[in-house]
Amino acid sequence: MQTTVIFKTDKRLKEAAQETAKRMGIPFSAVMNGYMREFVARQEITFSAQTYNPTPYLKRLLKQGEKDLASGKNIKVYANLEDLMAEIEK
């Protein structure tokens, strides 16, 4: 297996991640390889809502969306995928 270690990251974040892996008894390289394998296999990345702070604009949009959903305003339900696709293709 060829190895490489070049990528940029925040120094404090890297040190904290290395320390966490050490406390768990897991080599830091195993953690990173695991995350990268999952990223390649799933072709997606997940960010936790616990660490993400939406902008005030996005907060307003989310709040309005929740109000619309609760009231049924600006919401359309489709019986099946074909009906949805027909609406999109209009």
pLDDT at 2: 77
66: pLDDT strictly greater than 90: yes
Least Cα distance to 14 among 30, 35, 25, 28 occurs for 28
The token pair at 81 is: 């995928």
How long, in residues, is the chain? 90
The whole-angstrom separation of Cα 43 and Cα 18 is: 25
- pTM tops 0.95: no
The whole-angstrom separation of Cα 1 and Cα 60 is: 49
Q: Render pLDDT for 4-53 as a digit per residue (tens, 0 to 9).
A: 777 888 899 999 999 999 999 999 999 999 999 999 999 998 876 666 67
